[in-house]
Amino acid sequence: MNDTSIWITIIALGIGTFLIRFSFLGLLGGRDLPDWLTRHLRYVPVAVLPGLVAPLVVWPDATGGSADLARSLAALAALAIGALTRSMLGAIFGGMAVLYSVQYFM
């Protein structure tokens, strides 16, 4: 690729990103959203986070894409801690502790 096509791609992606964000924040930012929409938007992070984390647990790049016992145990521990304590930070730090402990002892 030459420099012109790279810059055109960067500018087009920047404009696209701005328009996506402006469509929600700029056009709807000062208005009250309907209750049904607000209720549904509360579930977006809960729906997106597992989609981001699951590939890192099931097919981690660190192991060449094969399943790893340490990451599976850490994900289960984080899930259990999060469900029991309702603490996001507790789940993160608990999962990290299990991951590093299992990796150290293996």
pLDDT of 23 reads: 84
Q: Check residue 61 and report its DSSP letter.
A: G
Q: Rounded mean pLDDT of the chain?
A: 90
Position 56 confidence tier, pLDDT thresholds 50, 70, 90: confident
Q: Are 74 and 103 in contact (CB under 8 A)?
A: no
pLDDT of 100 reads: 96
- Count of C-beta atoms within a 10 Å radius of residue 81: 21
- Distance CA(91)–CA(80), nearest Å, equals 8
| This model's pTM is above 0.75 | no
- Distance CA(92)–CA(54), nearest Å, equals 14
Does residue 9 have a pLDDT over 90?
Answer: yes
